[in-house]
Each structure stands twice: as structure tokens, then as C-alpha cells.
């Protein structure tokens, strides 16, 4: 995936390969600007000019159907309309931009249900109210007649989540779905997501900075740096024994104990993320890596290699230690 800037193509996502499985949650983590949201939006073909997906494949296998090659669909293809909001749903990071300011919440929910589920209007309204209730909106029937500016930030966030879940998608792309919510409401939202997974086998791509959510909710983790996956595998293994220096640095910078964290300085990752159009040679993390080996890490790009069952790693030194 690339973006056109100053007359040249700037690569934003490079060689990323992810596999979503029914009933499981894959968390995509990394610093801001590493390409997480761009990867997530590409699943629904929502990358707008000057950006474009310039290679690769996005394959979706709906239950009981043939594989759909998402990138091969034209903008007028019926499968693309069926995919967006139906087979695949997206929880946008910014709810205010995802809700229409001139339509009521109920109108937007019922329109979504009508397009994808094709049920009577009365049943659509009842289903919308039920979903809002599950997500903890107070007096959900009354909220149906309100506009987005009449809702609090947390209510808007849950309204966007309701719009994504109400048609029972087979794949959910959740881009920072709970940032506007307190701890109690975050737990309630993830409870609803787990229920949808158990009932309908929904696969979830969770884009997040919240490592507490990753530890509790994710089955698998993919760590992204500068548009590439540097480590991937089962969540318990990566959270407890991170192998890539970048993954270790990310986890070390998370306060594990808030009372103690308030009295000490948290570790930070040295240096800065390189500019998109000026990536370093070799491993893209080597200028910030405490374990970088001159002549190796600054000259060759490490491939993403399988180091154990279900686990992949892109680091010369870490792979050597894993095989030692």
C-alpha cells in the first residue's frame, strides 16, 4: 500500500500478511503512524486517493460460499456492497466522523439493518434497540430519535459499535474501539464482542494501543513497525515472552502497576520513527535497537521467519537466540 506524495509513491504498508480465523481475535499493535489503521481500512477497500493498494491479495471466505477476492471487485460490484457493513464491519476510530449529523441514530441503524438483513421495519427497530441496550446505552428506545450531537462521546462510540455489530458480520475490524469509554464500559463492550464471536463465529481484527485489552481479549498478536510485521504469534507467548527488541520495548513502556508507575519514570524507546520516504537500510528498527549489530542489521532486512509453532519473527539476533 502506498500514498502519492510530492510526485512519488511512499510505501505505508509493506508485505503485511495476516490471517483472521473464525471465533478468534487478532490484535494489531504498534506505535501511531506505523500503518495499523491503513491495514485495517484496506480490508474494506476504504483507502482513498492519494493512497492505493498496489499489490497483494485480500481474500474472504464467507460461510458456505466461494472465496471472494476483495481487491478484484469493482466499485459497483454487488459483492462489495454486501461486504461493507454486512460480511465485514468496521468500528471507526473517530465516531463523530462515522455518524451522520443530519439523521437520527435510529434511522442510521435501521437503514444498515434494512440493507443487509432485509427484515421488516418493526423488527429492524427492535433489533437496533436490543443492540444499544446490550452495549449499555441508557434508555435506548429514546436514543433512537436523537442526533449524534445530542449524544456524549461515549454514547457515540457505542452507537458506532452497535452499527458494526447489528448485522452480525463474519469479520469485525475494530480500530481503537474503546478509547472513549471508561473501564466498566470497555469491559461491557468486549463482553458483547465475545458473545457475538461465540454465537456467530465472528473473526475480529483489533487495532489498539491498549495492551491490557490485548492481554485479556486477544488470541493472537501481530506487532507492526514502519509498515511491516516484526513479530506475530499467540497472545500469551508474545505478552509473556516478547522476542523482538521492538516488542520488548513497547511492553516495557506500559505501566504495569499504576501506583508504582506514578513514582518512577517509565522507559521509552530511543530515537524516533523514521520518515516514510526515508527508511533506513537493513532492519527498519536498527537505528533505535540496543541489540543492533553493525554490518548486519544496518545492511540486510531480516525476513519474517517461523521460529516455533504459530510464531514468526523478523530479527537476526532474536532468531539466533530462539534457535540456540
Q: What is the pLDDT of residue 324?
A: 47
Q: What is the mean pLDDT of residues 68-96?
A: 90
Q: How confident is the model at residue 323 (pLDDT cuts 50, 70, 90)?
A: low
Give 121-124 contacts, CB < 8 A, sequence gap 24+.
none
The three cell numbers of residue 46 are 476504504
Main-chain dihedrals φ then ψ at residue 211, nearest 5 degrees: -75, -20
Q: What is the pLDDT of residue 103?
A: 96
- From edge to edge, which strands make up the β-sheet containing 25-29? 88-91, 171-175, 203-207, 25-29, 220-225, 228-234, 311-313, 305-308
Residue 262 above 60 pLDDT?
no
* Residue, of 11 and 160, whose pLDDT is higher: 160
Q: What is the pLDDT of residue 263?
A: 59
Q: What is the mean pLDDT of residues 132-152?
A: 95
Question: Rounded distance, CA 91 to CA 159, Å?
Answer: 10
Q: What is the pLDDT of residue 93?
A: 83
Residue 43 above 60 pLDDT?
yes
Q: Under DSSP, is residue 222 helix (H, G, I), strand (E, B) or coil?
A: strand
Reported as a single tens digit per residue, the pLDDT across 9-42 is 888 899 899 999 999 999 999 988 899 999 999 9
CB 40 within 8 A of CB 205: yes
Q: What is the DSSP string of 62-126?
A: -TTS--EEGGG--TT-HHHHHHBTTTEEEE-S-HHHHS-TTS-HHHHHHHHHHHHT---HHHHHH
Q: What is the pLDDT of the chain when averaged over all its residues? A: 90
Q: What is the pLDDT of residue 256?
A: 65
Counting residues of the chain whose pLDDT is more than 70, the rounded percentage is: 96
Going along the chain from its start, the domains and CATH numbers come out as: 84-218 (3.40.50.300), 229-323 (no CATH)
Q: What is the pLDDT of residue 280?
A: 92
Reported as a single tens digit per residue, the pLDDT across 89-110 is 999 888 888 899 999 999 999 9
Amino acid at each position: 500500500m502506498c500514498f502519492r506524495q510530492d510526485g512519488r509513491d511512499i510505501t505505508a504498508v509493506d508485505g503485511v500478511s495476516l490471517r483472521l480465523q473464525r471465533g478468534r481475535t487478532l490484535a494489531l499493535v504498534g506505535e501511531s503512524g506505523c500503518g495499523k489503521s491503513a491495514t485495517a481500512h484496506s480490508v474494506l477497500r476504504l483507502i482513498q486517493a492519494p493512497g492505493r493498494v498496489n499489490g497483494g491479495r485480500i481474500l474472504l471466505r464467507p460461510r458456505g460460499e466461494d472465496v471472494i477476492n476483495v481487491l478484484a471487485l469493482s466499485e459497483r460490484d454487488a459483492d462489495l456492497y454486501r461486504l461493507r457493513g454486512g460480511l465485514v464491519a468496521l468500528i471507526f476510530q473517530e465516531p463523530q466522523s462515522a455518524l451522520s449529523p443530519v439523521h437520527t441514530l435510529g434511522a442510521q441503524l435501521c437503514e444498515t439493518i434494512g440493507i443487509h438483513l432485509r427484515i421488516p421495519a418493526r423488527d429492524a427497530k427492535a433489533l437496533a434497540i436490543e443492540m444499544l441496550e446490550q452495549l449499555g446505552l441508557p434508555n435506548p428506545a429514546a436514543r433512537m430519535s436523537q442526533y449524534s450531537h445530542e449524544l456524549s462521546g461515549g454514547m457515540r462510540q457505542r452507537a458506532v459499535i452497535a452499527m458494526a455489530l447489528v448485522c452480525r458480520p463474519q469479520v469485525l475490524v475494530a480500530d481503537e474501539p474503546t478509547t472513549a469509554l471508561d473501564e466498566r464500559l470497555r469491559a461491557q463492550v468486549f463482553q458483547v464482542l465475545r458473545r457475538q464471536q461465540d454465537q456467530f463465529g465472528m473473526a475480529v481484527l483489533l487495532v489498539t494501543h491498549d495492551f491490557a485489552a490485548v492481554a485479556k481479549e486477544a488470541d493472537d498478536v501481530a506487532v507492526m513497525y514502519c509498515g511491516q510485521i516484526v513479530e506475530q504469534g499467540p497472545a500469551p507467548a508474545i505478552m509473556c515472552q516478547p522476542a523482538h527488541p521492538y516488542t520488548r520495548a513497547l511492553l516495557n513502556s506500559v505501566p504495569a502497576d499504576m501506583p508504582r508507575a506514578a513514582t518512577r519514570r517509565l522507559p521509552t524507546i530511543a530515537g524516533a520513527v523514521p520518515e516514510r520516504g526515508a527508511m533506513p537500510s537493513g532492519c527498519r528498527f536498527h537505528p533505535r535497537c540496543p541489540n543492533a549489530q553493525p554490518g548486519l542489521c544496518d545492511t540486510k532486512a531480516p525476513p519474517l521467519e517461523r521460529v516455533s509453532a504459530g510464531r514468526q519473527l523478523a530479527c537476526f539476533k532474536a532468531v539466533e537466540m530462539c534457535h540456540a
